[in-house]
């Protein structure tokens, strides 16, 4: 893998910062790694990555940790703010400056507040990888999701993708929509009105000339879809509890819900799931979410190797 | 200037030093005072007086409001922010009785003067040394937070002025 100036030393704050050809190069590198799984082992020996998770995380934290360790990096930081200086009230700014002082070469940051990643990037010259900032973006998850869809179908162009669930507060949903806008894809946003895509996402897609549509009920579109990306409807986000009771059934994906689906439909989910995705689907051809999850590790390895320029 | 306009203009005396904000849509002078934080200004600076004229004749607007601030020159950046909400306004700076006109323009970027509508935005975090910053999307008449991407209309700016 050579040095790639599109990634070298750059922050990964939003998937909007990456165009199709750059994403495709990333995906080719991930495919190369999947063919030769040990090819990047130890590549970044001597580098230090700080994983600063101001919001608890299990899988994203673990996959970055394993990816960094496999690349030979030293890993520091915290998986949740409890027990760190953050719980004593230390600011994001000071936390970054402190870890910078320890010689950190790259930061991976998750933070509950929207905009934290961009702010972090202004605080240090070291590359920042956004591992989720509040309800806004989760660019590496979107890269994983695009790669998983591409892997399942051999392409992204021409597909009809439904994104279902909490699209207003779900950062994976908005990042996926941004990422898909690089491709010739028809997007349908399936959610109750109160949880539809935020105005800035809709505005971005419109500016790019992307036609998307909104639907309240999955059954109206399920038969057309090639991909169904499921996210959890978060009860706590819906102002009226009776509204939640009315809508929750529409957003539970199971064999009954998918009765009219194409046999080739692939169901994805960023995981963890609660009850929006029935386990009865796990053994079916619809289920692609565990393949999708497994992509997290190689993709994050490749990404860190590109950002830190460990080209051989 | 018509006789009626001249009479109305005489409602408030001329000022030697200060700012006259003209062509404010009628009954909107209080919003101008809010955006310019004139109450805070009056508390922190001595000798400043503010006169508000409402519902006076205007050739271009029909009726209009005028705000006169004695002994204070409004920052051009604040006048530019005002023009997001009221594109018709003109600002007259008075120096030793001489008047120079300033036509505010919508800036590309606004820093520091407005807070983000998204309460959870990092710029609203306590103790973080971050200055709010917005990009103006002029065609759509919306501001977009540089950090969290939240969008809001130019018209709602008075509700988000930092106090």
- In degrees, rounded to 5, the angle at the alpha carbon of residue A61 between the alpha carbons of residues A56 and A63 is 150
Instruction: Indicate the helix (H) or strand (E) that contains A68.
Output: helix A59-70
CB atoms closer than 10 angstroms to residue A71: 23
pLDDT in tens, A218-238: 999 999 999 999 998 777 666
Distance from CA of A39 to the nearest CA of B (A): 37
Q: Sorting pLDDT into bands at 50, 70 and 90, what band is B117?
A: very high
pLDDT in tens, B23-65: 999 999 999 999 999 988 888 888 899 999 999 999 889 999 9
Instruction: Indicate the helix (H) or strand (E) that contains A247.
Output: helix A241-247
Q: Which domain holds residue A123?
A: 15-134+296-307
**In chain A, which residues have their Cβ closer than 8 Å to the Cβ of B121?**
113-115
Q: Does A116 touch chain B (CB under 8 A)?
A: yes
Residue A199 has its nearest CB partner, among B125, B127, B151, at B151
Domain presence at residue A8: no
Per-residue pLDDT of chain A (312 residues; tens, 9 = 90+): 556 778 999 999 999 999 999 999 999 999 999 999 999 999 999 999 999 999 988 889 999 999 999 999 999 999 998 877 777 789 999 999 999 999 999 999 999 999 999 999 999 999 999 999 999 999 999 999 999 999 999 999 999 999 999 999 899 999 999 999 999 999 999 998 888 999 999 999 999 999 899 999 999 999 999 999 999 877 766 667 777 777 776 788 999 999 999 999 999 999 988 889 999 999 999 999 999 999 999 999 999 999 999 654
Domain presence at residue A312: no
**In chain B, which residues have their Cβ closer than 8 Å to the Cβ of A119?**
122-123, 128, 130, 147
**A106 and A250 share one domain:** no
**A120 and A204 share one domain:** no
Strands (E), B17-97: 18-25, 49-58, 62-70, 90-95
pLDDT at res. A176? 98
Instruction: Using CA coordinates, name the residue in chain A closest to B131.
Output: A119
pLDDT at res. A312? 41
Domain count, chain A: 2
Q: What is the ipTM of this complex?
A: 0.92
**A263 and A145 share one domain:** yes
**A162 and A240 share one domain:** yes
Domain presence at residue A150: yes
The two structure tokens encoding residue A111:
């933070």
What contacts B25, CB < 8 A, 6 or more positions away? B61, B64, B65, B86, B88
**A130 and A226 share one domain:** no
pLDDT in tens, B6-17: 666 667 788 999
Dihedrals φ, ψ of B161, to 5°? -70, 135
The two structure tokens encoding residue A235:
């009860």
CB burial of residue A35 (10 Å; 0-12, 13-18, 19+): exposed
Walk me through the domains of chain B, giving residue ranges and CATH numbers. 3-102 (3.30.70.140), 109-160 (2.30.30.20)
Residue A113 has its nearest CB partner, among B120, B127, B146, at B120
**A118 and A172 share one domain:** no
CATH number of the domain to which A78 belongs: 3.40.50.1370
**A100 and A153 share one domain:** no
pLDDT at res. A232? 86
Inter-CA distances, B105 with A275, B68, B85, B141, Å: 52, 20, 11, 13
Question: Does the beta-carbon distance from B148 to A115 stay under 8 Å?
Answer: yes
Q: Does A200 touch chain B (CB under 8 A)?
A: yes
Check if the beta carbon of residue A279 is closer than 8 Å to that of residue A255: no
**A172 and A260 share one domain:** yes
pTM: 0.92
CB burial of residue A14 (10 Å; 0-12, 13-18, 19+): buried
Domain presence at residue A5: no
The two structure tokens encoding residue A31:
């495919």
**Spacing of C-alpha B33 from chain mean position:** 7
Domain presence at residue A1: no
Give the span between the Cα atoms of B68 and B15, in whole angstroms.
8
**A236 and A152 share one domain:** yes
Question: Does the beta-carbon distance from B145 to A134 stay under 8 Å?
Answer: no
Give the span between the Cα atoms of B107 and B104, in whole angstroms.
9
**A153 and A227 share one domain:** yes
Residue B122 has its nearest CB partner, among A89, A116, A135, at A116
For CA atoms A177, A131, B132, B29, give the dihedral sign: positive
Give the span between the Cα atoms of B83 and B74, in whole angstroms.
13
**A39 and A89 share one domain:** yes
pLDDT in tens, B82-97: 999 999 999 999 999 9
pLDDT at res. B6? 67
The two structure tokens encoding residue A156:
């992204």
**A150 and A282 share one domain:** yes
Give the span between the Cα atoms of A10 and A270, in whole angstroms.
25
Question: Does the beta-carbon distance from B125 to A92 stay under 8 Å?
Answer: yes
Domain presence at residue A228: yes
Give the span between the Cα atoms of A138 and A119, in whole angstroms.
15
CB burial of residue A186 (10 Å; 0-12, 13-18, 19+): middle
Check if the beta carbon of residue B137 is closer than 8 Å to that of residue B108: no
């Amino acid at each position: 893998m050579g040095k790639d100036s599109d990634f070298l030393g750059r922050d990964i704050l939003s998937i909007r910062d990456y165009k199709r050809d750059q994403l495709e190069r990333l995906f080719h590198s991930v495919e190369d790694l999947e063919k030769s799984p040990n090819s990047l082992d130890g590549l970044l020996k001597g580098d230090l990555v700080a994983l600063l998770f101001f919001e608890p995380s299990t899988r994203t934290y673990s996959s970055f940790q394993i990816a960094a360790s496999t690349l030979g990096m030293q890993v520091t930081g915290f998986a949740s703010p409890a027990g760190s200086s953050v719980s004593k009230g230390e600011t994001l700014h000071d936390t970054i400056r402190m870890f910078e002082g320890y010689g950190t070469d790259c930061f991976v940051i998750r933070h509950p507040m929207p905009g934290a990643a961009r702010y972090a990037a202004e605080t240090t010259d070291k590359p920042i990888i956004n591992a989720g900032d509040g309800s806004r973006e989760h660019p590496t998850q979107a890269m994983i999701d695009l790669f998983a869809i591409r892997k399942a179908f051999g392409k992204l162009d021409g597909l009809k993708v439904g994104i279902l669930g909490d699209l207003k507060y779900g950062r994976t949903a908005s990042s996926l929509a941004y990422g898909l806008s690089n491709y010739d894809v028809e997007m349908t946003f399936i959610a109750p009105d109160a949880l539809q895509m935020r105005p800035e996402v809709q505005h971005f897609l419109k500016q790019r000339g992307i036609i998307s549509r909104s639907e309240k009920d999955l059954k109206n579109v399920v038969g057309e879809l090639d991909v169904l990306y499921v996210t959890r409807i978060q009860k706590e986000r819906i102002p009226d509890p009776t509204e939640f009771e009315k809508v929750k059934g529409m957003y539970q994906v199971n064999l009954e819900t998918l009765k009219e689906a194409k046999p080739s439909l692939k169901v994805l989910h960023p995981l963890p799931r609660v009850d929006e995705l029935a386990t009865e689907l796990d053994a079916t051809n619809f289920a692609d979410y565990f393949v999708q999850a497994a992509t997290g590790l190689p993709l994050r390895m490749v990404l860190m190797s590109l950002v830190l320029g460990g080209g051989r | 200037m018509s006789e009626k306009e001249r009479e109305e203009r005489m409602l408030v005396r001329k000022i030697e030093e200060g700012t006259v904000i003209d062509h404010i849509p009628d009954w909107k002078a209080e919003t101008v005072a809010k955006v310019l934080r004139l109450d805070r200004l009056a508390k922190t600076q001595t000798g400043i007086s503010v006169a508000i004229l409402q519902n006076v004749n205007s050739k271009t607007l029909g009726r209009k409001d005028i705000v006169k601030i004695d002994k204070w020159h409004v920052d051009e950046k604040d006048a530019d922010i005002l023009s997001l909400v009221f594109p018709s306004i003109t600002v007259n700076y008075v120096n030793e009785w001489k008047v120079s006109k300033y036509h505010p323009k919508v800036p590309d970027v606004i820093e520091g003067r407005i807070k983000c509508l998204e309460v959870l935005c990092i710029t609203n975090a306590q103790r973080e040394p971050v200055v709010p910053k917005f990009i103006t999307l002029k065609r759509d008449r919306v501001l977009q937070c540089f950090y969290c991407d939240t969008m809001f209309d130019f018209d709602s700016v008075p509700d988000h002025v930092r106090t």
